[in-house]
Structure formats: C-alpha cells, structure tokens
C-alpha cells in the first residue's frame, strides 16, 4: 500500500503538534482550565476574605494561571485542579483567620478534585452539600467547624461520593439523621477509612449510617456528641478499626464483651460517659491496644488480671471510677506502659512489688485510693518516672511527703 505524500504530510503535522504539546507539558506550561478558573473566581466573589488569604487569586494578567494561586494544585499533565487547601490558618497570636460567608457551590465545577480542605473556617456556612456529588474523584474532605446546620441531607450527599476515604466533619453542627428518610447507599464509598463526626449534637440515630462503613473504617471519632444508652455490640464487627473514640457522651451500661473481638484496635477512648458494670476480661484479648482511656465513668468490680496480657499498652487511664480490690500483680507484665493513672477509685491492698518491672513508666498516679502498706523498694527500678502521685492513701513511711508529686 502506497502512502500518498499528502498523508505523509498530515502525519508529520500531527507529530509536530504532539511534539509541541509534549514540550509544553515538560515546561509545566499547561495553565489552568478556564471553567475551573471561573469557578474559583466565583468562589472568591462569594466569600468575605477579611485576612487577604485569597490575594493571589485574581483576573490580572500576572495572575492568570490559577494553578499558581494559594492553596491550589493542578495536575501538571491535564491542567485540572486536583487539590484545594483553604483551611483557615492561625495568625501569630493564635486567632483563626477564617473566610466568612456562605460557601459558594461553584466548587462543584472542579470536577477532578481529589482533595478539599476548608477546615476551621468557622465563620462559613454551607446550606447544602449537593454540589459534592459533582466531585466523583474526591478522596479527602475536611469541612471541620464550617456551619452545616442547614445541610439536612448531608448523609445522602456523602453517600454519593464513590471515592471518599477520609471525611472530617468535626464541630459542624450537623443536623441529626432523620430515621424516617430512607437513605440509598448506591454509589456510596466502599473505602471510607477515616470518619470524624466529633463535637456535633449527634444521637444514636447516627449508628445505622456509620455501620454501613464497618468493613472499611480504620478511624472513627464520635466523641463529644449526645449518644445515649448502651454501646451497640456492632462495634465488635468493625474488623479493620484501629482508632475509636466514643468519649464525652451519655453512654450507659456495661462495656460490651464484643470489644474483645476488635483485635486491630490500637486506640480506645471511652472516657467521660456513665458506663458501669465491670471491665470485661475480654480486654486481655486486645493485644494490639496501645492507648486505653476508661476514666470518668462509673465502672465497678476489680481490675481484671487479663490486663497483664495487653503487652502493647503504653497509655492506661482508669481514674475516676468505682473500682475495688487490689492492683493485679500482672501489671508488672505490662513492660511497655508509659502512663498509668488509677487515681480516685477504691483500690485497696498494697502496691505490688511487680511495679519495679515497669521500667518504661514515666507517669504514675495512684492517689485517692485506699492503698495500704509500704512503698515497695522496687520503685527504685522505675528509672523513667517523671511524675508520681501516691497521696491520699493509707501508705506508710514518713518520706511519703517527698515522694508524692515529684516532677523531674
């Protein structure tokens, strides 16, 4: 088959075109996309920028390339905007420099966005989150402290985001999920790993929606809400969870035995609730736990010997409960513990000699208990100790006044 000179010419022309395009990519000259530049300009027009955070954004000739604007990052091959980071910075005196006004929904035109952070813009309000459904590539969304009190369909909006892996909606005055409204999970992300809904007024109607992400969640923060009643056993089914905070709620009843099944958990914070009953022995099976805070509850019974099996624990706070009986000798086996707080319980008996084996301990508070006997000689082995409070017990020894509240 013969190639006509004309076709040869066309091929050469196309090759040159490509060459030109490739050069432009090499020089990173791919400017931003006009439609996306307009969306950003609309955004700037729609907000009050009291601190001049968007001063690099504008129409002037030297500002034409929106990929160079503050907080903006484009894909250098396609020119599409992929990151927008406008989280409110702190000034030198620690005040938040928030953008103010109603969040412009033109952000929905940034169709290739993968990362959006508007966190800490507490003076900003967002009426609805429908525009999020135009951002199918978004993996990271932070709207912490933005006022979302009017965004009643927020769960539906989130469910339409197929790529989301990290969602931060702390302190956004989120309206409660209305149980009667059916929520479709079509297109909902199956890979949501981080869910932070802390410091909202959420009630237990949040559970069914959040348990839909059970198989992917790694980090779940529901602290400082208005969760009441028992802790659902369903938490035990979250088999990938590493971080769980349910602190500062109104939770009651016992800690479910099912928690012993959460064998991936590294951080568990249940402090400041009304949990009663005794600490489940099943905790001994949580062999990945590094941080455990059960303080400020109404827990009863004694501290299980099984705690000695938690050989990865670095932080343990059981203070301000109703715990009785003696401190288990098994504590000596927790050789990774750095922080131990058992203050304000009814613990009796003497301090176990085994404490001498906790050579990594930096913080120890056993004050306000009913401990008796003398301070073990083995205390001399705790060479990392920087804070010690043994006051308000019935311990012997005149030197006690010196040993309590040492601070190196």
Residues engaged in binding ligand NAG (CB under 6 A): 28, 38-39, 42, 76, 105-106, 108-109, 125, 131, 134, 136, 147, 149-150, 160, 173, 183, 185-187, 208-209, 211-212, 252-253, 260, 276, 281-282, 284-285, 324-325, 332, 348-349, 353-354, 356-357
Give the C-alpha separation, 187 to 316, whole Å: 40
Give the nearer residue to ligand NAG in terms of CB position, either 211 or 291.
211
**Based on CB atoms, which residue is closest to ligand NAG, 49 or 305?**
305
List Cα–Cα distances, 283 to 65, 152, 253, 254, 265, in angstroms.
56, 38, 17, 13, 11
Nearest residue (CB) to ligand NAG, 103 versus 388: 103
Q: Which of 246, 218, 247, 221 is nearest to 232 (CA)?
A: 246
Least Å distance, CB 134 to ligand NAG, is 4
| Cβ contact 373:396 at 8 Å | yes
| For ligand NAG, the closer CB: 1 or 34 | 34
- Is 84 in contact with 115 (CB distance < 8 Å)? yes
Euclidean distance between CA atoms 148 and 140, whole angstroms = 18
Cβ 8 to ligand NAG, closest distance in Å? 33
Shortest separation between residue 371's beta carbon and ligand NAG, angstroms:
10
Nearest approach in angstroms of CB 349 to ligand NAG is: 5
Cβ-closest residue to ligand NAG?
A: 108
Strands 291-293 and 267-269, by their bridges, are parallel
Q: How far is the CB of 5 from ligand NAG (least distance, A)?
A: 37
CA distances from residue 183 to 131, 136, 210 in whole angstroms, order as listed: 18, 19, 12
Closer CB to ligand NAG, residue 105 or residue 139?
105
Q: Is-contact 196 144, C-beta < 8 A?
A: yes
Question: In the bound complex, what is the minimum distance in angstroms from residue 207's beta carbon to ligand NAG?
Answer: 8
Burial class (CB in 10 A: 0-12, 13-18, 19+), 61: exposed
Nearer to ligand NAG, 183 or 362 (CB): 183
């Amino acid at each position: 088959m013969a190639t006509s000179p004309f076709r040869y010419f066309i091929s050469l022309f196309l090759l040159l075109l490509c060459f030109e395009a490739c050069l432009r990519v090499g020089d990173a000259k791919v400017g931003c996309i006009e439609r996306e530049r307009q969306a950003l300009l609309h955004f700037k027009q729609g907000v009050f920028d009291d601190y001049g955070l968007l001063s690099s954004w504008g129409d002037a000739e030297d500002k034409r390339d929106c990929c160079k604007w503050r907080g903006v990052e484009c894909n250098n091959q396609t020119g599409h905007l992929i990151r927008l980071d406008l989280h409110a910075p702190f000034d030198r005196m620690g005040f938040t420099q928030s953008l103010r006004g109603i969040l412009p929904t033109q952000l929905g035109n940034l169709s290739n966005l993968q990362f959006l952070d508007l966190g800490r813009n507490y003076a900003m309000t967002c009426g609805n989150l429908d525009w999020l459904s135009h951002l199918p590539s978004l993996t990271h969304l932070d709207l912490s402290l933005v006022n979302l009190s009017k965004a009643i369909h927020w769960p539906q909006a989130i469910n339409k985001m197929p790529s989301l892996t990290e969602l931060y909606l702390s302190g956004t005055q989120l309206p409660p999920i209305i149980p009667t409204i059916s929520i479709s999970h079509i297109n909902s992300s199956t890979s949501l790993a981080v869910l932070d809904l802390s410091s909202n007024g959420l009630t237990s109607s949040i559970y069914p929606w959040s348990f839909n992400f059970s198989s992917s969640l790694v980090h779940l923060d529901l602290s400082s809400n208005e969760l009441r009643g028992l802790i659902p056993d369903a938490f035990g089914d979250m088999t990938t969870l590493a971080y769980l905070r349910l602190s500062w709620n109104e939770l009651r009843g016992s800690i479910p035995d099912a928690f012993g099944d959460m064998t991936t958990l590294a951080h568990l914070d249940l402090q400041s609730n009304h949990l009663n009953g005794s600490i489940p022995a099943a905790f001994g099976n949580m062999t990945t736990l590094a941080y455990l805070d059960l303080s400020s509850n109404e827990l009863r019974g004694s501290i299980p010997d099984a705690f000695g099996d938690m050989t990865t624990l670095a932080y343990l706070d059981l203070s301000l409960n109703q715990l009785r009986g003696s401190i288990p000798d098994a504590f000596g086996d927790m050789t990774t513990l750095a922080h131990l707080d058992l203050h304000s319980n009814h613990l009796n008996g003497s301090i176990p000699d085994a404490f001498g084996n906790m050579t990594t301990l930096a913080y120890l508070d056993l004050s306000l208990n009913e401990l008796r006997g003398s301070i073990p000689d083995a205390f001399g082995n705790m060479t990392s100790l920087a804070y010690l409070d043994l006051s308000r017990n019935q311990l012997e020894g005149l030197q006690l006044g010196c040993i309590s509240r040492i601070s190196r």
